[in-house]
Chains A and B, each alone.
Chain A
Amino acid sequence: MAKRELQEVNAGSMADIAFQLLIFFLVATTMDTDSGIFRKLPPMPEEEQKEEKEIKDRNIFVVLVNKDNQLLVENELMDIRNLRVAAKEFIENPAAKSNLPERVDTEIPYFGIVPVTKYHVISLQNDRGTSYGTYIAVQNELTAAYNELRDELAMRKFGVNYKDMKDIDKRKEAIEDIYSLKVSEAVPRNIGGP
């Protein structure tokens, strides 16, 4: 009878197999973090409608988007590339113009009494046929206008970037009080034909 030596299974390739599995899971793992533009919807109006508050014409910045993705800003056709600058001027009203929002002296922590365009509202209205991409682009530009103003102020006052400030930072709150995001969305209707 032949003498057989029990051969041990070579475990050398174990690592290779494990590596293969590892690579599979590495590839399959989606650490996808969702990101996007945050907005808060207005609550549903109460049953008994409150008296609609009159908003002065100078305090409203009307942005209309039609189904062909064109912008009408304050009754003028506008290219989206110019929207940010226009929105910034509206929100801040640096020259205290009479056709832009009124500046109300308000006490803000860290800043003391500063003029704030408290009552300004950006009214965004789109058509039902507006493409979502355009809508996001407009929302993005409006958000960017606020963020740029906030960033400039944070830089000037505190020497830090607005983006780097923590959410619990009281200074961030103060800046947001000065440039508070007010984008109101009207229920869309068909602008410029069906």
Chain B
Amino acid sequence: MSKFGRKGKGKMPGISTASLPDIVFMLLFFFMVTTVVRETTLKVRIIPPIATEIKKLEKKSLVSYINIGKPTQTEVYGSAPRIQLNDAFATKEKIREFVSSEREKMTEADRNKMTVSLKCDRDVEMGIVTDVKEELKKASALKINYSSRSGSQKDIFSNF
């Protein structure tokens, strides 16, 4: 008989799994709360270009998005690239309005930190992008970001 063994008591009690649902629910609630269901449904198809020298956008509340690309429903909207602001297609004249309404939403201190992220499809022509940039200049939203995916050098050159 060993000194340390406590034979009499034996049997380790099984770990109770009763609290497992609670733990899982906790996680569940966390993800439910953090999930941001995409507020805008994209009506344009966007495959962002690839770049290596990218930086992350830090504060999401300071960023407004302008989407440019071919409409997904080409049979309804045609295949010419369109600008999408929030939920609807827009003309470039609407951009100034859009920028000022986005500014309104921000606190006074943040207004000059506003960044506009241009999400454009890699196949759109620069003409429409330039028009948008000109409008942004007029609206004095000067900080812009060309949204792109990270990739390797090879991916970039493969287009040429």
Q: Does B42 contact A (CB under 8 A)?
A: no
Number of interchain pairs (Cβ within 8 Å): 160
Which residues on A sit within 8 Å (CB–CB) of B52? 140, 144
Which residues on A sit within 8 Å (CB–CB) of B119? 34
* With A69-B160, A128-B130, A133-B122: A18-B147 Cβ-Cβ less than 8 Å: no
In the complex, the answer to whether A33 meets B144 with C-beta atoms within 8 Å is no
Mostly, the B contact residues are mixed
Which residues on B sit within 8 Å (CB–CB) of A131? 122-126
A129 to B81, CA, bound (A): 12
Which residues on B sit within 8 Å (CB–CB) of A34? 56-57, 60, 63, 65, 117, 119, 145, 147
Least CB distance, A193 to chain B, in whole angstroms: 15
Q: Does B77 contact A (CB under 8 A)?
A: no
Contact of B150 among A15, A35, A130 (CB under 8 A): A35
A188 to B63, CA, bound (A): 26
In the complex, the answer to whether B24 meets A41 with C-beta atoms within 8 Å is no
Which residues on A sit within 8 Å (CB–CB) of B31? 22, 25-26, 29
In the complex, the answer to whether A30 meets B56 with C-beta atoms within 8 Å is no
Mostly, the A contact residues are mixed
In the complex, the answer to whether B121 meets A132 with C-beta atoms within 8 Å is yes
Interface string of B110-137 (1 = CB under 8 A from A): 0000010111111111110110011011
Q: Which residues of A are in contact with B by a Cβ distance under 8 Å?
A: 11, 14-15, 18-19, 21-22, 25-26, 28-30, 33-44, 67, 69, 79-81, 126-137, 139-140, 143-144, 147, 187-188
The list of the 9 closest CB pairs from A to B, nearest first, reads A128-B127, A133-B122, A25-B31, A18-B24, A136-B49, A143-B53, A36-B147, A140-B51, A14-B21
